[in-house]
C-alpha cells in the first residue's frame, strides 16, 4: 500500500503529493496552521471547494493534473461536493487515500460527513465520544484526531511579565443559545461577572448578558489571552468524551492559567492543577479562581507548565505526525 512509504518523523519530508480541501480557505486563521504543517511533510496543493463553481468536476480535473496520493478534506456540513466524486477520483488513481476531519461536534452525526465517509478511507473526529455515531452512520473507518494550535501564530508573541498582565479574568467565545450546553456557558459567565469586578467576556451575544469586553476575532483572542492572568472556558458540549474547543489550547499556549469546565477524558490529556485547572460547578469555578488570584506562584507555575505542554504536544506539526501514523494504522 501507498502508506508504507510514509515516515512519521519530524525530520523526514515524504515525497508524496497531498491535496488539501480546507473548510475556510483564505478566511480563517484556524486553517493556515494545518496547511503549513502539511507542507513540511508533503508536496501540497489546496483546493477551495467551498467557493468553487462546479466543485466536483473541478476537483476531478485537479486530480488528473496533480495526481495526489492523499486527499484530506474538511467537509463538515457543506454540500458543495457530490459524495460520488471519490469514486470518479479512484477511477483516475485507485490507490488515492481520502480522509476527512471535523474539529467540531454536533448533537447528531453530520449528514454530509456520513455521505462522504461511506466513500472515504478514514473519517477523523476531534472527540472520542462521537466515534460510534459515525461508525453506525456508515463511515468506513473512524478515528480520533484532536484540534491543535499554529506554532507561528501562538508562540511568536512576546509574553508579558505577570506583573504587566492588565486583564484579570477573561472569557473568549460567543453566546450561541442553540447548543446543548450554551446555558452552562451563559450561567458561568454571568456568575463570574457578578462575582469578579475584573472579569470580562469577549465575543458575540454577551452585550447585555454579562460584563462585555467587545467582539474578538480568532487572532484577537490570542492577544487577549497574552494579557490575562486567568482565562475561563466552557464548551457548548461538555459531555462528549475527549472533546474541547481549540480555545483551550490557544489560551494555554499564551501562558495564562486556563480554568475550564471538566469534560470526560480530560485527565488523559492534561493534569488538573498542573497544566490547567478544571471545575464541575459554578461554585467550584469561583473558588478556584479566588485561589488563583491570591496565589501568584501557582498562577505562574500552572500557566508555564500548560504553555510548555501545548508547545510540545499540541501544535499542528505534532498533529501531522499523528496523521501520518493514523494513515499507516487505518489505511
99 and 73 Cβ atoms separated by less than 8 Å: yes
Structural Rg of the chain based on CA atoms: 21
Closest CA relative to residue 105, chosen from 134, 126, 77: 126
Q: Which of 316, 246, 205 is closest to 105 using CA atoms?
A: 246
Domains of the chain: 2-148+315-330 (3.40.50.2000), 151-313 (3.40.50.2000)
As a whole number of angstroms, the distance between CA 238 and CA 234 comes to: 8
The pLDDT tens digits along the chain (331 residues) read 556 566 666 545 667 999 999 987 554 555 689 999 999 999 999 999 999 999 999 999 999 999 999 999 999 988 899 999 999 999 999 999 999 999 999 999 999 999 999 999 999 999 999 999 999 999 999 999 999 999 877 665 556 665 666 668 999 999 999 999 999 999 999 999 999 999 999 999 999 889 999 998 877 888 889 889 999 999 999 999 999 999 999 999 999 999 999 999 999 999 999 999 999 999 999 999 999 999 999 999 999 999 999 999 999 999 999 999 999 999 9
Q: Beta partners for 164?
A: none
What was the pLDDT predicted at 31?
65
Amino acid at each position: 500500500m501507498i502508506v508504507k512509504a510514509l515516515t512519521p518523523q519530524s525530520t523526514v519530508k515524504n515525497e508524496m503529493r497531498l491535496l488539501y480541501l480546507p473548510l475556510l480557505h483564505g478566511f480563517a486563521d484556524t486553517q493556515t496552521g494545518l496547511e503549513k504543517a502539511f507542507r513540511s511533510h508533503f508536496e501540497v496543493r489546496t483546493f477551495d471547494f467551498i467557493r468553487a463553481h462546479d466543485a466536483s468536476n473541478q476537483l476531478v480535473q485537479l486530480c488528473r493534473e496533480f495526481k495526489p496520493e492523499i486527499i484530506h478534506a474538511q467537509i463538515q456540513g457543506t454540500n458543495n461536493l457530490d459524495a460520488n466524486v471519490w469514486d470518479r477520483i479512484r477511477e483516475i488513481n485507485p490507490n488515492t487515500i481520502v480522509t476527512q476531519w471535523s474539529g467540531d461536534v454536533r448533537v447528531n452525526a453530520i449528514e454530509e460527513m456520513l455521505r462522504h465517509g461511506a466513500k472515504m478511507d478514514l473519517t477523523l473526529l476531534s472527540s472520542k465520544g462521537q466515534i460510534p455515531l459515525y461508525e453506525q452512520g456508515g463511515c468506513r473507518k473512524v478515528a480520533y484526531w484532536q484540534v491543535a494550535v499554529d506554532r507561528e501564530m501562538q508562540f511568536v508573541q512576546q509574553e508579558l511579565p505577570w506583573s504587566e498582565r492588565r486583564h484579570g479574568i477573561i472569557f473568549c467565545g460567543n453566546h450561541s443559545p442553540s447548543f446543548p450546553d450554551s446555558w452552562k456557558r451563559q450561567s458561568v459567565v454571568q456568575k463570574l461577572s457578578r462575582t469578579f469586578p475584573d472579569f470580562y467576556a469577549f465575543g458575540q451575544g454577551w452585550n447585555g448578558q454579562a460584563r462585555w469586553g467587545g467582539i474578538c476575532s480568532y487572532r484577537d483572542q490570542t492577544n487577549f489571552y497574552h494579557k490575562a492572568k486567568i482565562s475561563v472556558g466552557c464548551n457548548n458540549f461538555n459531555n462528549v468524551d475527549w472533546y474541547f474547543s481549540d480555545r483551550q489550547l490557544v489560551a494555554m499556549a499564551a501562558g495564562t492559567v486556563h480554568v475550564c469546565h471538566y469534560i470526560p477524558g480530560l485527565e488523559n490529556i492534561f493534569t488538573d492543577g498542573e497544566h490547567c485547572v478544571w471545575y464541575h460547578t459554578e461554585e467550584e469555578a469561583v473558588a478556584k479562581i479566588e485561589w488563583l488570584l491570591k496565589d501568584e506562584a501557582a498562577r505562574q507555575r500552572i500557566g508555564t507548565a500548560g504553555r510548555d505542554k501545548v508547545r510540545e504536544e499540541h501544535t499542528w506539526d505534532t498533529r501531522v505526525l499523528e496523521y501520518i501514523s493514523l494513515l499507516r494504522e487505518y489505511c
